Amino acid sequence: MQELTPETITGAVLDQMSTTTDPRLKQIMASAVKHLHAFAMDVNLTPAEWIKGIAFMTEVGKICTPARQEFILLSDTLGLSALVNGLHDNTAMEEGTHTSLLGPFYREASPALAAGSQIAKTVKAGSEIVLYGHVSDVNGRPIANATVSIWQTGASGLYDIQENAAAIDYRGVFSTDANGLYLLRTVRPIGYSIPMDGPVGDMVRAQKRHGMRPAHIHFLVGAPGYRELVTALYLRDDPHLEDDVVFGSSGDLAVDIAPKDADCPIKGLPSIRFDMRLSRETAADKAGGRVGADPSAILKQPA
């Protein structure tokens, strides 16, 4: 019988798993085992540390509900979600606007609003801005009737559903016109903290990180024949643009609020222009697979 040692155990596990018939599962599991074993060897993982890790993952699982996905938050704060998004961008047929995190606060049930509508139910004096831009293909040809879903935090730095699960505020769905233009009014987004009251928050604090996301507005843009775009714009002057706790902000998604913009279709308000270019859809895109996930779709509440 083969003697199992730290030097031979990896090979033994890979041998035993080599009967896996699904080739992609086989590849993923073999790589996961190799990297997990290499990690344990690298840090010389002790039994006490191993059990602490198990306890941590158990807490991450226990706090998950249909409205809260702590595993995604863990993935976000470890940069894994941003990495997977970047790898997904690399598979696009053409280089369109880069993706950013969907985050846990997207909801299918958002109101369809007419062009130019204000998405916030209450607007504090001086906070109103116009948000507009063109949705086009990668060659700049306008895409009419694209669906542009927008969501952001309100003045409290919370999403509507964090304050009241049934509330709808600071979100809406718009359609582009014949020139690919989308146009709405909203309020200045403000930066906010990710949920810090769970095990991921404990981890972030232990690492002396701040837990903040820079001010941003989320977009989900779709049009027949194009790859769905999940992205966000980030305010360039936010102090956390460079150290977003979930690594979603990146230079090419940073925007400024222009005090005056002669091209803005609504006059007399500061505005943000954010144009988006969609890549054509591939066969793999047609099969589905959103960049990000609605927590309620991952874990349904027991009946």
Q: Report the nearest approach of Fe ion to the CB of residue 41 (Å).
A: 38
Which of the ranges 10-18, 102-110, 172-180, 271-279 carries the binding residues for ligand BEZ, by CB under 6 A?
102-110
Tokens of 206: 């232990």
Q: Report the nearest approach of ligand BEZ to the CB of residue 195 (Å).
A: 7
Nearer of residues 37 and 68 to ligand BEZ, judged by Cβ: 68
Cβ atoms of 151 and 105 closer than 8 Å? yes
Q: Select from ligand BEZ, Fe ion, none the partner in contact with residue 101, using the beta carbon and a kind-dependent cut-off of 5 to 8 Å.
A: ligand BEZ
**Binders of ligand BEZ in range 222-251 (CB under 6 A):** 246
Q: Report the nearest approach of ligand BEZ to the CB of residue 231 (Å).
A: 11
Say whether residue 103 binds ligand BEZ (CB under 6 A).
yes
- Residues 45-74: x where in contact with ligand BEZ by CB under 6 A, - otherwise, as a string: ----------------------------x-
Closest residue to ligand BEZ: CB criterion: 103
Cβ atoms of 200 and 61 closer than 8 Å? no
User: How many residues belong to the site for ligand BEZ (CB under 6 A)?
Assistant: 9
Which of 84, 140, 101 has the alpha carbon at shortest distance from 278?
Answer: 140
Nearer of residues 200 and 264 to ligand BEZ, judged by Cβ: 200
DSSP secondary structure of the chain:
-PPP-TTTHHHHHHHHHTT--SHHHHHHHHHHHHHHHHHHHHHT--HHHHHHHHHHHHHHHHT-BTTB-HHHHHHHHTTHHHHHHHHHHHTSSS--SPP----TT--S---B--TT-B--SS--TT-EEEEEEEEEETTS-B-TT-EEEEE---TTSS-HHHH-TT---SEEEEE--TTSEEEEEEE----EEPP-SSHHHHHHHHTT---EE-SEEEEEEE-TTB--EEEEEEETT-TTSSS-TTS---GGGEE--BS--TT-SS-SS-EEE--EEEPBPPHHHHT---SS--HHHHSPPP-
Q: Select from ligand BEZ, Fe ion, none the partner in contact with residue 194, using the beta carbon and a kind-dependent cut-off of 5 to 8 Å.
A: ligand BEZ
Nearer of residues 104 and 180 to ligand BEZ, judged by Cβ: 104
**Binders of ligand BEZ in range 77-96 (CB under 6 A):** none
State how far the Cα of 297 lies from the Cα of 303, in Å rounded to an integer.
Answer: 15
Which of the ranges 21-29, 99-107, 160-168, 259-267 carries the binding residues for ligand BEZ, by CB under 6 A?
99-107
**Binders of ligand BEZ in range 155-194 (CB under 6 A):** 194
Q: Report the nearest approach of Fe ion to the CB of residue 104 (Å).
A: 8
Q: Report the nearest approach of ligand BEZ to the CB of residue 72 (Å).
A: 7
State how far the Cα of 209 lies from the Cα of 216, in Å rounded to an integer.
Answer: 19
Q: Report the nearest approach of Fe ion to the CB of residue 105 (Å).
A: 6
Say whether residue 198 binds ligand BEZ (CB under 6 A).
no
Name the residue type at position 174. F
Q: Report the nearest approach of ligand BEZ to the CB of residue 120 (Å).
A: 17
Say whether residue 103 binds Fe ion (CB under 5 A).
yes
Q: Which of 101, 120, 173, 183 binds ligand BEZ (CB under 6 A)?
A: 101
What are the residues binding ligand BEZ (CB under 6 A)? 73, 76, 101, 103-105, 194, 213, 246
